[in-house]
Amino acid sequence: MPGVEGGVLFPADKLRAFTVAVFEKVGVSPEDAAVVTDSLIEANLRGVDTHGITRMLCVYIKRLQVGVMSPRTEWSIARENASTALIDAKNSLGQVVATRAMQLAISKAKQTGIGFTAVNHANHYGAAAYYSMMALEHDMIGFSSTNAPAGVAPWGGRQPILGTNPFSYALPAGEEEPVVLDMATTVVARGRLLLYAKQNLPLEPGWALDERGVPTTDPQTALRGILAPLGGYKGYGLALIVDLLCGVMTGANYGGHFPGFLADNLEEPSDIGSVFMAINVNSFMDTAEFKGRMDQAVREIKGSALAEGATRIYVPGEIEFETKAERLAHGIPVPEQVVKDFVALGQELAVPFPRLD
């Protein structure tokens, strides 16, 4: 799991209030601050700390402060028909425009059976599952994907050309939890390397390579090198398709055209591209029948024969649902170094970081 390995436990509501206040301090409207914060805290609750405040808050704030990301939401629809739309984000906060793009896809799916929207000139939008899961409350199947600055070489190369380029599907079920797949096209996200470097932890073998394309377990070396694609050449293929859809098709940046990673690039807008889809299940079969079949499929998978040494079979998203329940009850772990970063950020903006009583 792309989470932290330990840290100080903070209640989600305290972290949420701090995060909203920090965004408002740098000019983000209360409404938009709530949207971005909800995306980040939800990622932390689900254990996807690479896309929560643990990694992203200080980066976002710095980019807003230097003016390479706009605190004001100004977006427009560049192209549209009954089931599709292309949205120009105009360098607005990624989560805000992505949320509206997914809402638009859902609205179109109610009318036509499927809605597909795309966004260009955008920013990092957090965890992909946040948007695919928006379709679940409408008894729809959700999909979301985005490209990212280059940190992955094409198969057989050593020059970074592609991003981690994640995608997520969310499928509703009945009595069982929804099936939610959220994955990068690399073995781990780059944020995982950053969190390991922050915690002075060695990487697992197979996660990353150095600048020569040789495997490494040193996070600092890996950050100067490249990420390993998921499944070798197959992961490279998936990353390429995501980049072509999210970057080339939308008119956003793609491949090696990004000006740099978020934390390193404080001079130019990112111009990230993303796509969103909602599929109205009722267009194919009655919703109740679909959910019943989903329940049956999930139970068959989880009840299948275990391999030697295994104790349980999971379906995608199940660990995250359990992690969320655990963290709502006991708190979100924040590494001590990140706590120091938040305290310093709070002092800078006159928003005290919450104390644990």
pTM assigned to the model: 0.94
DSSP state of 204: P
Q: Are strands 226-227 and 215-216 parallel, antiparallel or unpaired?
A: unpaired
Taking domain 191-228, whether its CATH number is 3.30.60.50 is answered by yes
Amino acid at position 270, single letter: S
Percentage of the residues of the chain whose pLDDT score is greater than 70: 99
What is the chain's length? Answer: 357
Element (H, E) at 85: strand 84-88
Q: Which tens digits make up the pLDDT trace of 126-166?
A: 999 999 999 999 999 999 999 999 999 999 999 999 999 99
- Supply the pLDDT for residue 96: 98
- Supply the pLDDT for residue 198: 83
Residue 6, pLDDT > 80, answer no
Residue 348, Ramachandran bin (φ over 0: left; ψ between -120 and 50: alpha; else beta): alpha
- Supply the pLDDT for residue 290: 98
Query: Distances in Å between the alpha carbon of 147 and those of 163, 209, 242, 259, 294?
Result: 6, 21, 6, 13, 30
Q: Which tens digits make up the pLDDT trace of 219-268?
A: 999 999 999 999 999 999 999 999 999 999 999 999 999 998 888 889 99
Torsion angle, alpha carbons of 187, 189, 191, 194, to 10 = 20
Element (H, E) at 299: helix 287-302
Structural tokens at position 261: 């990673």
Query: Distances in Å between the alpha carbon of 36 and those of 4, 57, 123, 126, 203?
Result: 21, 10, 12, 9, 29
Kindly report the average pLDDT of the chain as a whole number: 95
Q: What angle do CA 246, 252, 254 make, to 5 degrees?
A: 70
Confidence band (pLDDT; 50, 70, 90) for 1? very low
What's the CATH code, domain 74-186+231-302?
A: 3.30.1370.60
Confidence band (pLDDT; 50, 70, 90) for 72? very high
Q: Which tens digits make up the pLDDT trace of 73-128?
A: 999 999 999 999 999 999 999 999 999 999 999 999 999 999 999 999 999 999 99
- Supply the pLDDT for residue 191: 78
Residue 208, pLDDT > 60, answer yes
Taking domain 1-66+314-357, whether its CATH number is 1.10.3720.10 is answered by no
Rounded to whole angstroms, how far apart are CA atoms 314 and 295?
Answer: 14
Alpha helices in 214-255, H assignment, sequence order: 219-224, 233-243
Percentage of the residues of the chain whose pLDDT score is greater than 90: 91
- Supply the pLDDT for residue 324: 98
**Boundaries of every domain in the chain:** 1-66+314-357, 74-186+231-302, 191-228
